[in-house]
């Protein structure tokens, strides 16, 4: 049975190092000793002034569930390691992405200078219906080929980008923070980020402004 969902799942599976690793790496440059009170101030200064190399002392491993098209964008950040579910070795699950209700659907303007606008009732209905129809048709075709003994790596070709995949992501903390600064829009972001909303203007915050 085809399942449609619009969420993504990210779980922290493992990590190596912590605040002590960052402080230890930072203090080697000055030869100063560690102190709990001063260490917190040092960490805040490193983040505020974007002294990134000490944060490379911490390694994180996540498990991610996301549509294939999201995973391909994720993999473009070539600062980490990935191991993904393979359709060559296992039968994929019939789970597909459908935009959630309320997601902006209309792209207005030209590349680099466009905004996203909300869709009307008819557009939302078409999006929901077409995502389900194509997911069902693709999955049925996939199953028919598998039932005829066709290799998984051939049968998978019929599956769309909306299929959910899963992968492990191993990344150091500095690279993870850089990834979030580019991919997660937030009003308190120090580095400009972008929202898929009515406004295409970046959200930014002066470094001199204390975080809320």
Active site residues: 183
Q: Which of 195, 183, 191 is nearest to 74 (CA)?
A: 183
Beta strands in 25-68 (DSSP E): 59-67
Q: Which of 17, 6, 13 is nearest to 64 (CA)?
A: 13
> Position of tokens 């003994």?
149
Instruction: Give just the sign of the alpha carbon dihedral 124, 127, 130, 134.
Output: negative
Alpha helix segments (H runs only) across 85-170: 121-147, 152-155
E strand or H helix at 115: strand 113-117
């Amino acid at each position: 049975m085809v399942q449609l969902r619009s969420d993504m799942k990210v779980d922290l599976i493992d990590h190596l190092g912590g605040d002590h690793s960052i402080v230890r790496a930072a203090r080697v440059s000055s030869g100063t000793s560690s102190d709990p009170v001063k260490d917190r101030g040092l960490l805040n200064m490193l983040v505020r002034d974007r002294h990134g190399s000490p944060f490379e002392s911490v390694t994180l491993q996540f498990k991610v569930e996301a549509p294939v098209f999201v995973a391909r964008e994720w993999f473009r950040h070539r600062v980490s390691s990935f191991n993904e579910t393979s359709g060559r070795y296992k039968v994929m699950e019939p789970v597909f992405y459908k935009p959630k209700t309320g997601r902006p659907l209309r792209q207005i303007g030209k590349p680099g200078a466009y905004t996203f606008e909300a869709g009307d009732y008819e557009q939302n209905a078409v999006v929901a219906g077409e995502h389900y129809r194509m997911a069902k048709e693709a999955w049925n075709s996939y199953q028919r080929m598998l039932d005829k003994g066709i290799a998984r790596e051939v049968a998978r070709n019929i599956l769309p980008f909306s299929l959910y995949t899963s992968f492990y992501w191993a990344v150091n903390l500095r690279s993870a923070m850089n990834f979030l600064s580019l991919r997660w829009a937030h009003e308190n972001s120090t580095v400009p980020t972008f929202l898929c909303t009515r406004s295409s203007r970046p959200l930014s915050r002066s470094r001199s402004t204390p975080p809320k």
